[in-house]
A and B are shown apart, each in its own frame.
Chain A
């Protein structure tokens, strides 16, 4: 060591100072970046508000009178979205297993499911389930019809995501599980699936947020969710623009809230990854 104890201390202090300075500049830069970022948002929002104020004659009494009726669609929309995404997760798990199966019949059925439900419009699937199932003696109410169609449709898209998630789990994990004496099934359920789920969590969150808006299609079969209510409220007095605007705001706010939740969840799920990368 060429340096004495004292000079080392001085160098360390200088280093510390430089480090603090860099941090300060960085923080300042990122703060001013955020200020400009928020300013941009506010400017666009102000522009939109001005545009709406100038073009749509907003009748506050009218909106206040109908707001409770329209907002009563929120729990319906959330319920449809939550149950549909749960159904989609189950179907996607099954579908992914099918797509990974070496059994040609199972794989064929799974890939047909994915192909059909990704290959036809969602609105058509809803109408088809509503009109066609009764011909076979199965009569589902509008709400379960919509849930079934949304769940099947999203399940098809998520099948491919789940398949990729399962395949992304390193094969060494299965080998390690086998070496501990687990059989194939236990290893899959206890070792592969949990890790695969962590990989696909962001995609599920993303799909749920998309589902919140696609659930509006339940409107076509008369489910009184957010969009249905906004339409029914606006039409009698020819003020649909206003009620649709209310619905748009509510959808948007719901999306923002769930995006924040999703970010939190993703942060939690990736704690393990970060710890590993630091090591």
Chain B
């Protein structure tokens, strides 16, 4: 085979790969469809003169849209609706935040949701595929090595649930080789494996010698127990567990006390463009939303209680 024909085959591959790239944008209605106009203020053509075009904020302004990652497997924080749009506490907070960002900057940035798996979001190095995670990421020292956190918008309490017919009644009984089910790459998994790096004096010490099964999301743990699989306990977000109990899942909280409480924040990729300006704006907006009761109202609407004040 001559060089020319080899080159033409290579050309064919290049065209094919290019076609894939193009197809990604048009053929995945998934990521494009649920784009929602989040702001209604007058659009300004030029971004503020002070914004560095190479920074994350500069890139978002140039694109006219902000790509926000959400994992819609965590109702009532984020879940998908039959029409392909998203709803939940995190989603509402993200929409409100972008609305306020537009008001501050006089822009009309829209939201484009991205839905990578949770373990990919917490891994960092997003490669610019999405700009920010507004999806209940707890602030831990390990994660802070790969992402920049804004100021907390709520405080997450871990909860321990046991099957409805469980005879366990106290935390002490969880020690000594009990079986646990958790969502993979969650702070609850880290808590069980004693790798959780947070500062919380009220943290319940993790049980000794836990036998941990990590499923793709917490949700599978609850469905597994409902289907008849035997786990001694499930460790997950307390609000999520309470919501599952409300929806009739055959589990109950072991104790009312949270396993640990941790700040939850928007996260920005450390390995991406400079985050400073956007982080500052996010901090102002989060402070405003705390001060005027917006976060409290959203929390009460979606979670049935106020989780936005730091427990003392």
Stretch at the interface among A9-17, A18-26, A137-145, A252-260: A137-145
A97–B9 alpha-carbon span in the complex (Å): 11
B82–A233 CB distance below 8 A:
yes
A86–B19 alpha-carbon span in the complex (Å): 11
Residues of A within 8 A of B30 (CB): 76, 223-224, 228
B17 within 8 A of A: yes
Residues of B within 8 A of A107 (CB): none
A66 within 8 A of B: yes
A261–B89 alpha-carbon span in the complex (Å): 47
The CB with the most chain A CB atoms within 10 A, among B25, B127, B217, B220, is that of: B127
With A223-B28, A224-B30, A238-B244 as known contacts, state yes or no: A139 contacts B75, CB within 8 Å: no
Query: Across the two chains, which residue of chain A brings its CB closest to B28?
Result: A143
A47 within 8 A of B: no
Residues of A within 8 A of B135 (CB): none
With A142-B116, A222-B120, A238-B219 as known contacts, state yes or no: A72 contacts B84, CB within 8 Å: yes
Residues of B within 8 A of A184 (CB): 1
A119 within 8 A of B: no
A170–B249 alpha-carbon span in the complex (Å): 66
The CB with the most chain B CB atoms within 10 A, among A65, A131, A143, A184, is that of: A143
A130–B120 CB distance below 8 A:
yes
**Least Cβ–Cβ distance between A177 and chain B, in angstroms:** 14
B276 within 8 A of A: no
Q: How large is the interface on A (under 10, 10 to 19, 20 to 34, 35 or more residues)?
A: 35 or more
A196 within 8 A of B: no
Q: How large is the interface on B (under 10, 10 to 19, 20 to 34, 35 or more residues)?
A: 35 or more
B12 within 8 A of A: yes
**Least Cβ–Cβ distance between B88 and chain A, in angstroms:** 9
B5 within 8 A of A: yes
B249–A238 CB distance below 8 A:
yes
A185–B5 CB distance below 8 A:
yes
**Least Cβ–Cβ distance between A252 and chain B, in angstroms:** 22
B84–A238 CB distance below 8 A:
no
Interface on A for B, CB 8 Å cutoff? 65-66, 68-69, 72, 75-76, 79, 83, 86-87, 90-91, 93-94, 97, 130-131, 133-135, 139-144, 147-148, 184-185, 188-189, 220-224, 228, 231-233, 235-238, 240-241
Sorted nearest first, the 4 A-B pairs with minimum C-beta distance are A134-B127, A224-B30, A236-B75, A222-B116
